[in-house]
Amino acid sequence: MTGSPDFTLSTPQPAAWSGDAASGDIVKAVKLESSPSWWGIASSPLVYNGSVYVTTFSNGTLWKIDSDGNVVWRYTTGGEIGPYTSPSAFKGLVFFAGNESGNGLLVAVNESGVEQWKFPVDGKITNSPSTDGQRVYVATETKLYAVNLDGTEAWSVAFSGTMSTAAVAYGNVYIGSDGKLYCFNASDGTKKWETAVNGKIDSSPAVAGGVVYFATNTPEGTLYAVDALSGEVLWYYRLSPPSGSYYNIMSSPFIAENKLFIGADSGYVYCFETSGSFEFNVTLIPGKFEVLVNGNSYEVNRTTALGALYESENHTVNGAKVWFDVSLDDSWYSQYGFFIKTIMGLGTDQIDGNWIYWSVWNETGQISVGADRYNLNQKETVYYCYGDGSSLNSCLILLKINAEVKPAGISSLELSNGNRGGNITAWVNVTSASTDWYVVVVSGVGEQGEAIAGISTFRLNAGEELRVPVLIYIPQLADQGTYSLYAGVYRFSEYPANLIHLYGPASCEVS
């Protein structure tokens, strides 16, 4: 909200409230909504040129209230509008959603409440009008409209509108829909890109620094950051609710002082740094993974600095799943290995005359080879610094990765189903950094607490990966249903005292 610091307006009840922002004391309440239903007044107030504008949904009315809480005028269209749509303003015009005899409208009035124009739309407006100073953008359940400031249509496209209000930046319109974020050319409505996400977007996008931020209204509410020009997902933060709970996000992100703020159904308001230090704790096991760079396929050891970065990019932090994008440069691969091209969409750039880029460090200094050529010790911290490369203290963004390297580990667990009196077969992929004898135990419980287990002993050579079968006997009187099982690997000489690595769970059915 903008305007005088000693005035605020909020709508927890079907009335407009004016008060003292410093004390929170209510000075005056004005009843506006005659038929509050379930929503009351859900419209967000607009403070413009010293006055407050707010809409009521039951009769499609725009209200103007002065700084003392007095109603100056109202403009009624008569029909019901979306409860969450809010007014906007530009150069003396106030734009809002209306409804005349069941026909949806975008209405423009001046500050005296005199109608300037009405633009008919094909249904109820689902979001709030937004403007770039040339056009006004609104959506319905079937179309996205761009309306010129004189009330004529600039363009329209087929679109499944939600509460998501369009953000306009870089000559583009960014808006959420039912499962996708869209980018349209603001001048002619040409679709530039679309990005699929994990659910409906009711959150209104915020754009800053070439990045679009928004969230999804799903039980696993997710905050996304995507590249404003390409739509590529740079990172996301996905909430993980307890069983039977829902962490939907309908709140829209707000960005200030290099921080992003957003609320969720978890009951928390979250603050994210757009710069600063990030710390990850990862466990690495022997073996290799494949990366594709410039159309070329490469194998990378998991226990390298690059392996630690890739393990961090798809990680759980404070109960939430965090993912971010990593891209590599193989121009000097034969000599040095990979250079880091981008992390979270940030790459080599020039700021205030200084070149900034990603460099890789350990506790003693900058690493002189590519991240894929640097093998980590059993417990080691590696740093990815986005800065001028002079020191870790000069980093604009610092990723600190605390890595624990295991001598052996499990990369996958597959289970067959089984019958009472028979067996379940588990297939466990195990890798080792040293030649030795090992033990794998697969065990777990069913829905009623019934425990089952199986064990295998085998020999592994250094650097070898083996698919180990484990037979798990099911007692004749065992409970039927779903069983959740884990796999653990031990050195034979240290079994059962020292577990090296635990993997799981995986599920199977007993009948």
Instruction: Enter the DSSP assignment of 286.
Output: S
Averaged pLDDT, 70-77: 96
- CATH assignment of the domain containing 480: 2.60.40.10
Rounded to whole angstroms, how far apart are CA atoms 242 and 363?
Answer: 38
Helix intervals (H) in 246-384: 305-312, 333-336
Length of the chain (residues): 511
What per-residue confidence (pLDDT) applies to 274?
Answer: 65
Here the CATH number for the domain that contains residue 229 is 2.40.128.630
Q: Are 438 and 430 in contact (CB under 8 A)?
A: yes
Torsion-angle region of 142 (φ positive above 0: left; ψ -120 to 50: alpha; else: beta): alpha
Q: What is the pLDDT of residue 351?
A: 77
Average pLDDT along the chain: 91
Yes or no: say if 205 and 211 are a contact pair by the CB < 8 Å rule.
no
Task: Evaluate whether residue 353 is within a structural domain.
Answer: yes
Q: CA–CA separation, 248 vs 203, rounded Å? A: 10
Residue 148 belongs to a domain? no
Q: Please give the full DSSP string across 97-141, using - where no structure is assigned.
A: EEEETTEEEEEEEETTS-EEEEEE-SS---S--EE-SSEEEEE-S
Decide: 56 and 42 in contact? Cβ < 8 Å: no
Residue 41 lies in a domain: yes
Q: Which residues pair with 71 in a beta bridge?
A: 65
More confident of the two residues 344 and 88: 88
Do residues 191 and 264 share a domain? Answer: yes
Judged against a pLDDT cut of 80, whether residue 22 lies above it is answered with no
> Are residues 178 and 94 located together in one domain of the fold?
no
Model confidence band, residue 13 (pLDDT cutoffs 50, 70, 90): very low
More confident residue, 471 or 433: 471
Give me the pLDDT at residue 1, please: 24
Decide if 73 contacts 89 (C-beta within 8 A). Answer: no
**Closest CA relative to residue 502, chosen from 431, 427, 440, 438:** 440
Half-sphere exposure of 285 (CA within 13 A, CB side): 17
Residues 69 and 108 in one domain: yes
Residue that is last in its domain, among 405, 433, 449: 405
CA nearest 508: which of 486, 478, 484, 480? 484
Q: Over the stretch 375-430, which tens digit does the pLDDT of each residue have? A: 999 999 999 999 999 999 988 889 999 999 999 999 999 999 999 999 999 999 99
pLDDT of 8 higher than 60: no
Whether residue 257 is found in the same domain as residue 368: no
**Which one of 239, 256, 274 terminates a domain?**
274
289 lies in the same domain as 251? no
State the Cα–Cα distance between residues 360 and 66, nearest whole angstrom: 57
152 in a structural domain: no
Pairing mode, if any, of strands 254-256 and 259-263?
antiparallel
Could you give the CA distance from residue 442 to residue 430 in angstroms, rounded to a whole number?
Answer: 13
| pLDDT digits 0-9 by tens, 45-61 | 999 999 999 999 999 99
Residues 477 and 358 in one domain: no
pLDDT category at 10 given cuts 50, 70, 90 is: very low
pLDDT value at residue 315: 78
pLDDT at site 19: 53
- Residue 139 inside a domain? The answer is no
Q: Per-residue pLDDT for 28 more than 80?
A: no
> In this predicted structure, what is the pLDDT of residue 79?
93
Asked if residue 376 and residue 420 are part of one domain, the reply reads: no
Task: Summarize the chain as % helix, strand, coil (round to 5).
Answer: 5, 55, 40
Q: Which residue range(s) make up the domain with 40? A: 1-132
Claim to verify: residue 301 and residue 220 sit in the same structural domain:
no
Residues 294 and 395 in one domain: yes
DSSP 251: P
Question: Any idea which residue has 């050195």 for tokens?
Answer: 491
User: Quick one: pLDDT band at residue 275, thresholds 50, 70, 90?
Assistant: low
Whole-angstrom Cα distance, residue 303 to residue 325? Answer: 20
- Does 202 have pLDDT greater than 80? yes
Residues 6+ apart with CB under 8 A from 351: none
Give pLDDT tens digits for 219-262.
999 999 999 999 999 889 999 898 889 999 999 999 998 889 99
Inside any domain, residue 108: yes
Are 203 and 284 found together in one domain?
A: no
Domain-located, residue 138: no
- List CB contacts of 201: < 8 A, sequence separation 6 or more: 162, 164, 176, 177, 178, 179, 180, 181, 214, 215, 216, 217
Alpha carbons 85 and 138: distance in angstroms, whole number: 10
Residue 156 counted as domain residue: no
Q: 435-468 in b/e burial notation, b at 16+ Cβ within 10 A?
A: ebebbbbbbbbbeeebebebebeeebeeeeeeeb
* Residues 33 and 122 both lie in one domain: yes
How far lies 239's CA from each of 200, 252, 312, 508, in Å? 15, 16, 17, 26
Domain boundary among 388, 405, 422: 405
**Please, what is the Cα angle at 437 between 433 and 438, to 5 degrees?**
80
Count other Cβ atoms within 10 Å, centred on residue 485.
Answer: 23
Confirm if 90 and 96 have CB atoms less than 8 A apart: no
373 or 41, greater pLDDT: 373
Q: Which of 404, 450, 403, 454 is nearest to 428 (CA)?
A: 454
Query: CA angle, corner 427, sides to 424 and 429, nearest 5?
Result: 160
**Could you tell me whether strands 130-131 and 135-139 are parallel, antiparallel, or unpaired per DSSP bridges?**
antiparallel
Q: Are residues 212 and 238 in the same domain?
A: yes
Task: Take residue 341 and report the two structure tokens written for it.
Answer: 């091209």
The rounded distance, in Å, linking the Cα atoms of 349 and 333 is 22
**Number of independent structural domains in the chain:** 4
